[in-house]
Amino acid sequence: MPMHDVPEVPEVQWGQVFEKHGGPLTYKSIPVPKPGPDDVLVHIKYTGVCHTDLHAWKGDWPLDTKLPLVGGHEGAGVVVAVGEMVKDVHIGDHVGVKWLNSSCGVCDFCMSAQEPLCIAPQLSGYTVDGTFQQYCVANAGHVARLPKSVPLNAAAPILCGGLTVYKALKESNARPGETVVITGAGGGLGTLAVQYAKAMGFRTIGIDAGEKCDAVKQLGAEEFVDFQTEDVIESVKRHTGGFGAHAVILLAVSEKPFQQATEYCRSHGTVVCVGLPANARISADVFSTVVRMITIKGSYVGSRMDTKEAVDFFVRGLISAPFKVGKLSELGKVYEMMEKGQITGRYVLDTSVSPEDQEKMEE
Ligand code: NAD
Ligand code: ZN
């Protein structure tokens, strides 16, 4: 590439930082990180806000985060620098930064292309600084390749939400024409799950709060169950001729659905746990689980190959889940709405700064 095409990378940038769990989120000027030999530096244009980011800020899980931390792991942007060992990603390429920032490459799981199970992973916006900043470092082997034809704002939610639900639907072993229940269908992952399920040929029943019914049905769900006003188990059975659903994808950030799902799952069906509510337990009646041959399993993001496939569905125009665009400075407000379950679909944040903020930074 001729020298004049190499983008100028600033020394400082804007990012959202917190020092302690549940402590203030500060939108401030921070240094631009430097990529290592096998990393790329990505100018993040848009970043989705996943409920995982809220769990990380609150310190909900039995896994330590880096502190202070820049959260975020659904970043879409443009490569502005590459480490000296990077050969297949170039300055100017459009890429996505995912939850799995890097993996060791040599453990049993990495060797069998199950890199989310790596024994020494780095996680974006958790163990390393993530996408709630303008410039983010990620391992070149792990960034998602995005064609320049797709808009980066709509692509951002695919990089965690889309990938995760696509993988969970594959793990459900459901076949085209079978019925899949999506619990938490109106949320970020849920709205994407309804769309991926439809594209994969499944029939879906969405479960969420009543105000999200119209959106979930418009995305392709055949039936909707309001968890706040209906008997969820009875309703799913009614919609499935008394048999229950072939598979259940649990995306809700609440414990109760993890204790109900086997009861509305069809015999020989599969319950896939994806949502990660704090301190929650799965429970099921042993007798019924055995004699009805129910499978209960977890599903955790997806591999690089799953990423490629999930991005492909999006590039082919099969996935268009709702998203709202805000500014990176508004992250705190988005967390408040998310906590109350008020967001239908995803919030995507634009990292560009207003001229006023820019002036302040230069002072
Ligand atoms: P979100 O806040 O956008 O959506 C959650 C939805 O669940 C909301 O629409 C809410 O109304 C609904 N809900 C709450 N209680 C419910 C109930 N009892 N029944 C049905 N619906 C209910 O969150 P999100 O970004 O979609 O993330 C969902 C969960 O998935 C989070 O816990 C997140 O950490 C987790 N996650 C897991 C993985 C993974 O790899 N396993 C990846 C990404 C996210
Ligand atoms: Zn996520």
What is the per-residue pLDDT across 96-105, written as a single tens digit (0 to 9) for each? 999 999 999 9
Q: Separation of 323 CA from ligand 2 center, angstroms? A: 15
Within this chain, do residues 207 and 112 fall inside the same structural domain, yes or no? no
Chain Cα centroid distance, residue 226: 24
Of the residues 99, 181, 251, 263, which should be mutated to test ligand 1's pocket, given the most ligand atoms within 8 Å of the CB?
251
Q: Separation of 53 CA from ligand 2 center, angstroms? A: 7
Of the residues 114, 255, 276, 335, which should be mutated to test ligand 1's pocket, given the most ligand atoms within 8 Å of the CB?
276
Name the amino acid, one letter, at 63.
L
Within this chain, do residues 17 and 140 fall inside the same structural domain, yes or no? yes
| Closest approach atom of ligand 1 to CA 256 | 18
**Which of residues 252, 272, 298 is at a domain's end?**
298
Within this chain, do residues 25 and 151 fall inside the same structural domain, yes or no? yes
Q: Separation of 180 CA from ligand 1 center, angstroms? A: 16
| Closest approach atom of ligand 1 to CA 302 | 40
Is the CB of 183 within 6 Å of ligand 1? yes
Identify the CATH number of the domain in which residue 68 sits: 3.90.180.10
**Which of residues 261, 277, 298 is at a domain's end?**
298
Within this chain, do residues 290 and 340 fall inside the same structural domain, yes or no? no
Q: In order along the chain (363 residues), what is the average pLDDT of each group of 10 residues?
A: 71 98 97 98 98 98 97 98 98 98 98 97 98 98 98 98 98 98 98 98 98 98 98 98 98 97 98 98 97 98 98 98 97 98 98 82 65
Of the residues 160, 253, 263, which should be mutated to test ligand 1's pocket, given the most ligand atoms within 8 Å of the CB?
253
Is the CB of 184 within 6 Å of ligand 1? yes
Closest ligand (CA of 75): 2
**Which of residues 298, 322, 342 is at a domain's end?**
298
Length of the chain, please?
A: 363
Q: Separation of 274 CA from ligand 1 center, angstroms? A: 8
Closest ligand (CA of 277): 1
Within this chain, do residues 66 and 144 fall inside the same structural domain, yes or no? yes
In this prediction, residue 87 carries a pLDDT of 96
Within this chain, do residues 10 and 153 fall inside the same structural domain, yes or no? yes
Model-wide pTM > 0.85: yes
Give the residue, by CA position, lying nearest to ligand 1 atom 16: 252
Spatial neighbors of 286 by CB under 8 A, at least 6 apart, are: none
Closest ligand (CA of 322): 1
The boundaries of the domain holding residue 281 are 162-298
Within this chain, do residues 153 and 17 fall inside the same structural domain, yes or no? yes
In this prediction, residue 4 carries a pLDDT of 52
User: What six digits make up the tokens of 282?
Assistant: 């799965």
Exposure letters 252-275 (e unless 16+ CB within 10 A, then b): bbebebbebbbbbbbeebbbbbbb
Question: Do the strands 245-250 and 179-183 form a parallel or antiparallel pair, or are they unpaired?
Answer: parallel
Q: Is the C-alpha dihedral spanning 116, 119, 121, 125 positive or negative?
A: positive
In this prediction, residue 3 carries a pLDDT of 47
Spatial neighbors of 134 by CB under 8 A, at least 6 apart, are: 13, 14, 15, 32, 43, 44, 328, 351, 353
Name the amino acid, one letter, at 126.
Y
Give the span between the Cα atoms of 318 and 250, in whole angstroms: 22
What confidence tens digit (pLDDT) does each residue in 216-241 have? Answer: 999 999 999 999 999 999 999 999 99
Within this chain, do residues 77 and 103 fall inside the same structural domain, yes or no? yes
Identify the CATH number of the domain in which residue 190 sits: 3.40.50.720
Q: Separation of 28 CA from ligand 1 center, angstroms? A: 29
Q: Separation of 240 CA from ligand 2 center, angstroms? A: 31
Beta carbons of 92 and 2 less than 8 angstroms apart: no
Cα-based distances in Å from 152 to 16, 163, 257? 20, 16, 33
Closest ligand (CA of 126): 2
Q: Separation of 285 CA from ligand 2 center, angstroms? A: 30
| Closest approach atom of ligand 1 to CA 207 | 20
Give the residue, by CA position, lying nearest to ligand 1 atom 14: 252
In this prediction, residue 363 carries a pLDDT of 65
Q: Separation of 313 CA from ligand 2 center, angstroms? A: 18
In this prediction, residue 40 carries a pLDDT of 98
Within this chain, do residues 176 and 131 fall inside the same structural domain, yes or no? no
User: What six digits make up the tokens of 234?
Assistant: 């009875």
Within this chain, do residues 246 and 319 fall inside the same structural domain, yes or no? no
Give the span between the Cα atoms of 180 and 193, in whole angstroms: 10
Within this chain, do residues 250 and 199 fall inside the same structural domain, yes or no? yes
Of the residues 55, 166, 182, 189, which should be mutated to test ligand 1's pocket, given the most ligand atoms within 8 Å of the CB?
189
Within this chain, do residues 243 and 321 fall inside the same structural domain, yes or no? no
Number of folded domains in the chain?
Answer: 2
User: What six digits make up the tokens of 319?
Assistant: 């996935």
